[in-house]
Structure 1
Amino acid sequence: MKVENRSIDFVPEDERYGKPRSLFFVWFGANANITTIAAGVLPVSLGLNLFWSVVSILLGSLIGAIFMASHSAQGPRLGIPQMIQSRAQFGVFGAIVPLLFVMLIYLGFFVSNTLLAAQAIAKASPLSNGTNIVLLGVVCFLVALFGYQLIHRFQKLLSMVSIVVFSIASYFALTMSIEPGQWTTQGFGWVSFLACVSISVTWQLSYAPYVADYSRYLPTETSSRQVFWYSYLGTVVGGSWMMILGAVMAKGMSGFADNVGLNLVTVLGGGTLLTFAFVLYGQVAINVFNLYGAFMSTVTVIEPYAAMKVTPRVRAGFMLVICATATGLCTLAQDDFLQFFLNFIFFMSYFLIPWTAINLVDYYVLRKGVYRIADIFDPNGIYGRVNWIAVSIFIVTIILEIPFMSTTLYVGPIATKLGGVDLAWAVGLIFPAIAYCTLMRRRQTVVSASAKA
């Protein structure tokens, strides 16, 4: 298998291949890991019983995946990675603004996934924790280096194995002794419930910045409806299943959240080499997504300033630096991982939601999927260097979200008056969608009037 020879450039029709059903396995596999299970512990940690935890997970997953799958449907039509397509909204240089935030998200997830994996094998491995972290980084680097085709194969195999393994884990979880009242409607609280819905929504949205990267090689005539539904079902089934499993295990197993990976291994029958290998496989698979996406974003940031050909050697150099940086950040981990993880997920939503609102309104409402691909790579093209409308709305939205934020690090004044309910996600979705659509249409009207005059 050869190293992928394309990066952020357009994929021509003679290089397109595949079927949309492969996307089910890609996104089911992306969720089949202990990080998703750890996310399922969060509703329980926020005080919900199992009934309301499951409802919040399902509701958030069903909502969030709509946006995620809508991004996925852009891939075959445009034939370019997700974040470089943002140049059509923000401008060739202006797209760097959301890209910088997205790169932080990639690094944050890489650190979270690696720490959970290292924690899971710490007692079984004869090597030090630092060495385990480095070895995990090396494996992620090698898989991501080969790129698109290997990642698809990697995810399909993971999905097949995961269905069996997690079916067994689910059976054992459901046979655990659960305290009374966990499957009733008692104990409902709006603050915790809405926070947990937001967690699940954000979890699905976290794939949005790179979801089209894995559909862009599909033939142009591929049905957008099929791309949407295979992506949607894969991520909803995989994500909600793993999160619900995490919630049930958190209630049925004392201290489950302290070491999610090791406790999952225990449930599956103890520390066999095969079980540990499966846990590591899942963590490597999701970290490959983050490394591949970080590479694409880095090239997108640099490309306007320095025209370059991304050869396999250049690709390897970029990925090595990114992987080394992310691996190094793992040494800065916090002792309270669950609290760190919770704040990180909320942090993501404050930046991801405004970007996704602008991108989807531009694609589906304003331009209806019609773009001039060559101009996306040209600072002097129709999309310009900086679209100050998009950049300003993105920044203003983040500022407007601040009073509505509710995390353990900061609670805004409006969130305080609402009893701790975090509605920043609603502001981040509604305001930029309306503002961008209105101002861009107004600008198009002015341009059209000037052209006629």
Structure 2
Amino acid sequence: MSHPGTSERDSVIEQHSIDYVPGSERHGKVWHQAPFWFTGNFVLPTMVTGFVGPAMGLSVGFSVLAIVVGVLFGTFFMAFHANQGPRMGLPQMIQSRAQFGSRGAVVPFAATVFVYVGFLVFDTILATQGIQLVLSGGKLFWYPVLIVLAIVIAVVGHDLLHFIQRWLTYLLILVFAIVTIVAVVHFATVPMVEAAAAATSGWNWTAFLVQFSLAAGYNISYAVYVSDYTRYLPAKSSAPKLITAVYLGAGVSAIWLMSLGSLLASYIPNADPITSLQQIGDLLVPGFGTFAVLVSVVALVSIMGVNAYGAMLTGTSAVDGFREVRPTVRLRVIGLAIVGLVCLAIALVIPDDYLASFNNFVLLMLYFLVPWTAVNLVDFYLVRHGKYAIAEIVKPGGLYGRWAWRGVTAYFIGFAAMIPFFSTSFYVGPVAELLGGADISFIFGLVVSGGLYLLFCRNLNRSAEATAEAKSNQELEGVAHP
């Protein structure tokens, strides 16, 4: 992979993709990460995740408890990836080459593209439903329009995404603070309707674990995004402050919106994110609910840009592992166009009952990403302690090899260890059946994958890497400034 050779400062459009960001082009502030991840997580699919507990018979109080514990747990793994961006100057997933090899990394790459495209599809569907409250036109019109808009944002790239996410935070907080207050006051004074009361009767151990797993898995899924948006920060950015900013942004927004979703689903039978939000908002002033939905649509389009951007980076990294590419703007546009077409095709054929599909999607994300995040974090914090030969990572045939058996083996064994604990609508593992359908697979995935990788790396020869590390920075900065 060769460097594009054009300075980021020469164009409004971002020039970098899967290549290294040199020190002279680092910019941004650590605190910006908090609003970025707040808005990134403050979208309607997050609210939908909160519907699950009440739908399975869990009371609103226990649903919120499961959400809080799940989000606090899942965000821990996501936030600790943030420190990798400024230290390595690379997008999140290409860093996996150090653990899996340039071709072995295709394993987590495939899971990651699944995450990006899945979120793009659900975001497109929800955004279209929101727009149709005020504008005519079917999905054959709005799906392409929304996808093209998201791709344009992603083409401009990193700085525009940060700008939009940061300023949307203030509007989202204002609008949803009003919606939340209205919902709490209204439901505190209105008796729960009979259908909702019967459906959310109280404690259910299985439902609690499912809601916990979905909340945790939802935020763990953002682990594959994080360094894409921290890699432009100065290399000496404070790790504790950065991790805290990401944790607070992603954690607070998820707890807030998922909890609001649980409240709505507890009082509104067969709750739908669009109509429920409109209904509650209109209790304040007729039309305010529609306004709240439209604000949510803007946030959805923004996160669609984030998802398209990440899918492009991961897809390009995968191709580069087999055929070296030059990460130009033209290649980024082609990659984004492919992502958009795939998203459009899936969105057009997905069943109307997207809520059931979404729940399975979140669980599958959890299954595929837990072994990867365990291996990646163990390598960064416990094995290599953040020290890598970056120039060798960006070379498909570099020091880290094409197939790294330690990471690949730990991933697959960890994944296999989770299978008996899987619990989805189409497959329930034998242990999950004994637990009444409760899903605790992520615990075994984290422990087995992370533990095995650490064990496999006991005899890792770091001497060759140490020599390469000494040359890496000079080589990269030299390429960046010919």
- Could you tell me the TM-score, scaled by structure 2's length? 0.88
SS at match of 2:225: helix
Following TM superposition, by how much is the alpha carbon of 1:77 offset from its aligned partner in structure 2, in angstroms?
A: 0.7
Hey, what's the Cα distance between the residues in 1 that align with 2:263 and 2:306? 27
8 Å contact 2:277–2:292 — kept in the other structure? no
The equivalent of 1:304 in structure 2 is 321
Task: Give the one of 365, 369, 382 matched to 1:365.
Answer: 382
Matched, 1:336 2:346: no
- Aligned to 1:165, the other structure's residue is in SS state helix
2:172 counterpart SS class? helix
CA 1:379 to 1:325, structure 2 compared with 1: closer, same or farther past 3 Å?
closer
Shift of 1:122: 2.9
Shift of 1:446: 12
**For the structure 1 residues 274 and 420, does the alpha-carbon distance in structure 2 shift closer, same or farther, using more than 3 Å as the test?**
closer
Which one of 301, 326, 342 corresponds to residue 343 of structure 2? 326
Aligned position for 2:35: 25
Greater displacement, 328-337 / 16-25: 328-337
CA contact (8 A) 2:97 2:104 kept: yes
**Structure 2 residue 199 is matched with structure 1 residue 189:** no
Structure 2 letter corresponding to 1:390: G
The residue matched to 1:216 in structure 2 has which SS?
coil
Scaled by the length of structure 1, what TM-score is found?
A: 0.93
Q: CA deviation at 1:347?
A: 0.7
Of the structure 1 ranges 19-28 and 1-10, higher mean CA displacement relative to structure 2 is found in 1-10
Contact kept in structure 2, 1:124 and 1:271, CA below 8 Å:
no
Specify the alignment match of 1:69 in structure 2: 79
Matched, 1:345 2:393: no
Determine the structure 1 residue equivalent to 2:477.
none
* Distance 1:250-1:443 versus aligned 2 partners, 3 A rule: same
In structure 2, C-alpha distance between the alignment counterparts of 1:190 and 1:87, rounded to whole Å: 40
Contact 1:261/1:279 (<8 A) preserved:
no
The alpha-carbon distance between structure 1 residues 254 and 192, as it changes in their structure 2 partners (threshold 3 A), is closer
Name the aligned partner's letter for residue 439 of structure 1: F
2:323 aligned counterpart, secondary structure: coil
Counterpart selection for 1:242 from 245, 257, 263: 257
Counterpart of 1:62, as a letter, is L
CA distance, structure 2, for counterparts of residue 447 and residue 309 of structure 1: 27
Correspondence for 2:403: 386
5 Å-filtered alignment, 1:164-243, equals 164-174=174-184, 175-176=186-187, 177-179=190-192, 187-243=202-258
Deviates more, 1:115-124 or 1:225-234: 115-124
**Partner residue, 1:265:** 278
Post-superposition shift, 1:307? 2.9
Task: Let me know the Cα RMSD of the aligned residues.
Answer: 2.1
1:397-412 alignment runs, 5 A limit: 397-412=414-429
Q: Secondary structure at the match of 1:125?
A: coil
Q: Structure 2 counterpart of 1:338, which letter?
A: L
Report the 3-state secondary structure (helix = DSSP H, G, I; strand = E; otherwise coil) of the residue aligned with 1:29. helix
1:43 match? 53
Deviates more, 1:382-391 or 1:347-356: 382-391
> CA contact under 8 A between 1:81 and 1:212: conserved in structure 2?
yes
Q: CA deviation at 1:407?
A: 1.3
Q: 1:45 to 1:276 in 2, by over 3 A?
A: closer
Find the aligned partners of 2:191 and 2:144 in 1 and give their Cα distance: 38
Q: What is the CA-CA distance between 1:294 and the residue it aligns to?
A: 0.2
The aligned residue for residue 163 of structure 2 is 153
Shift of 1:125: 2.1
Equivalent residue letter for 1:261: I
Q: Following TM superposition, where does structure 1 have runs of at least 4 consecutive aligned residues deviating by more than 3 angstroms?
A: 270-277, 442-448
The residue aligned with 1:451 is none
Secondary structure of the 2:367 match is: helix
Work out the number of aligned pairs and report it.
Answer: 444
Contact kept? 1:91, 1:383, Cα under 8 Å: yes
Is the contact between residue 398 and residue 428 of structure 1 (CA under 8 Å) also seen in structure 2? yes
Task: Give the conservation status (yes or no) of the 8 Å contact 2:48–2:258.
Answer: yes
Partner of 1:374: 391
Change (3 A) 1:274 1:186: closer
Letter in 2 for 1:167: A
CA positional deviation for 1:104:
1.0
Once the two structures are superposed, what CA deviation does each residue of 1:386-439 show, in whole Å capped at 9, x if it has no partner?
A: 111211221222222211111111111111122222121111111011111001
Once the two structures are superposed, the pairs formed by residues 279-298 of structure 1 within 5 Å of their partners are 279-298=296-315
| Partners of 2:91 and 2:271 in 1: CA distance | 38
| Counterpart residue type for residue 393 of structure 1 | A
Q: Where in structure 1 are there 5+ consecutive unaligned residues?
A: 449-453
1:274 is displaced (CA, Å) by: 4.4
Residues 275-284 or 111-120, more deviating: 275-284
